[in-house]
Structure 1
Amino acid sequence: MSSARRSAVVVGVLFLVTEVAAVGGLALYGPALHDTGYVLGAGRDTRVFLGALCEFVLALAVTGTGAVLYPVLRRRSEGAALGYVCGRLLEATVILVGIVSVLSVVTLRQQGQGAAAAADPSLVTAARALVAFHDWTFLFGPNFVLGANTLVLAALMYTSRLVPRPIAVLGLVGGALICASATAVLFGVYEQVSLPGSLAALPVFAWEVTLAVRLLAKGFGEGAGTPVGAGTPLGADAG
């Protein structure tokens, strides 16, 4: 197996991990994010901890995709490849900040147990502020930054033919849509977790899953092993 083929397999697996971890984390976070009385109740801390673990795995996988793709992408455009790596690092950092805000809600609940705490409205106010903080990180990380990263990667894939162009076009459409949706959420047109928001996120989801399947099945296309301006692509890297 060539180095490009190995990289393609690793990237494909990492993209699938990001999808599973992202959906799992959001679902498991439910009690802390949507129950305003969570901080005063018995709590479902184990479920929230599992959600945090999923989000941590997500951050690692996001970082991994940038690191593994860099040697392949820099043969086409070193500046864009470096930008993609930095963008993925930024996305992972915002995700980690969101994890800390949700876990802080759990800490408030654990330290504020008791009748006196239940009568203290400041606990609910503090918990809501932390949830709001998480919601903003969720908007800027897995939406704005993800959209920008998707556009950069899809553009590189399109120009270099690392994957079939219809797949790259799906990424370009998905990245643009999720950035537009995030802008609409920012200005209060609709809620992030809503039908319009979910529909706008579907093309990015489809892009990442389709890209992962393509890389696992056939690897990179003709541009994987050849720098810009070089001769015939390496046949072994064509997938």
Structure 2
Amino acid sequence: MNSTRKIAVITGVIFIIATVLPILASSLVPVLTGADYLTQLSAHTNQVAAGVLLILIGYFACAGIAVVMYPVLKKWNAGLALGSVVFRTIETAFYMVGLVCLLSLLTLGQQFTTAGAADPTSLQAIGNLLVSVRDNAALVAVFAFCLGAFMYYYLFFQSRLIPRWLSGFGIVAIILMIAACVLALFSGNRITSYIPLAAPIAVQEMILAVWLIVKGFNPSVIASQSAKTETN
């Protein structure tokens, strides 16, 4: 297995990790709405901790996607390849802000239930603020994801490293995701309120992951680019 094929397989695996683990984690973390979410967090401490671990791995994988693909994509456009790394790293950074907020909410929930509700109003207000910061950080993270992903999908489409129907679907899915972000920004709703607009990119990335693992990058395109590089 040559280096380009290994990169394709690793990228496919990372795509799956970055998509699947946060979804699994969401089933472990109570919904942060209603009047009793702090109590729910406190009642499921170990479950939330497991969810945080899955989320952490998934978020690191988000940045890893662009990093692993960089050696291949830079041959077509180093600037866009680097840009995808930068924006997907920014995405991960803002997701980490949200993760810190979640850990802080877990601690706050424990205080809320063990302090005898000495000052429940203040604790609830702090909790609501942390939830708001988490939601806003997630929105910025998704915006950064859209920019980074658009860059490598454009390079895929331009280079034909993967079939154009696949990279074209990726570009359309990213545009739908950007629309979801804009709607969330102006409506004040959570980005998760727009699942129909966000679902296509999740499907796309799973299809792309399987394609990269099974088929890899187009070998004729790789060979042609390598020949041009050697000639120059």
Q: For residues 27-66 of structure 1, what are the structure 2 equivalents within 5 Å?
A: 27-31=27-31, 33-40=32-39, 42-66=42-66
2:202 aligned to which of 202, 205, 216? 205
Distance 2:68 2:83 in 1: 14
Distance 2:222 2:56 in 1: 30
Unaligned runs of 5+ in 1: 233-239
Counterpart of 1:12 in structure 2: which amino acid? G
Q: Which residue of 1 aligns with 2:222?
A: 224
Counterpart of 1:114 in structure 2: which amino acid? T
Q: Which residue of 2 aligns with 1:235?
A: none
Report SS of the residue matched to 1:93. Answer: helix
1:146 aligns with 2:148: no
**Deviation digits for residues 104-150 of structure 1 (CA, Å, limit 9, x no counterpart):** 01111223433543543100110111011111112121x21121122
Q: Which residue of 2 aligns with 1:178?
A: 177
Task: Tell me if structure 2 keeps the 8 A contact 1:144–1:182.
Answer: yes
Task: Tell me if structure 1 keeps the 8 A contact 2:112–2:120.
Answer: no
Q: Which residue of 1 aligns with 2:90?
A: 90
Q: What TM-score results when the alignment is normalised by the length of structure 2?
A: 0.90
Report SS of the residue matched to 1:113. Answer: helix
**Deviation digits for residues 156-204 of structure 1 (CA, Å, limit 9, x no counterpart):** 000000100000001100111101111011100755323xx11101111
Cα separation, partners in 2 of 1:34 and 1:159, compared to 1, 3 Å: same
Higher relative helix content: 2
Deviating more after overlay: 118-127 vs 213-222: 118-127
Q: What TM-score results when the alignment is normalised by the length of structure 1?
A: 0.88
Report SS of the residue matched to 1:28. Answer: coil
Cα separation, partners in 2 of 1:116 and 1:63, compared to 1, 3 Å: same
Task: Tell me if structure 1 keeps the 8 A contact 2:86–2:148.
Answer: no
Counterpart of 2:206 in structure 1: which amino acid? V
1:215 aligns with 2:223: no
Offset, 1:85: 0.7
Report SS of the residue matched to 1:219. Answer: coil
Counterpart of 2:221 in structure 1: which amino acid? G
Distance 1:188 1:226 in 2: 48
**Deviation digits for residues 33-90 of structure 1 (CA, Å, limit 9, x no counterpart):** 2343232465211121122111101122112212210100001111111101111111
Q: Which residue of 1 aligns with 2:106?
A: 106
Report SS of the residue matched to 1:34. Answer: coil
Q: Which residue of 2 aligns with 1:158?
A: 157
Cα separation, partners in 2 of 1:73 and 1:138, compared to 1, 3 Å: same
Task: Tell me if structure 2 keeps the 8 A contact 1:72–1:225.
Answer: no
RMSD: 2.1
Cα separation, partners in 2 of 1:226 and 1:74, compared to 1, 3 Å: farther
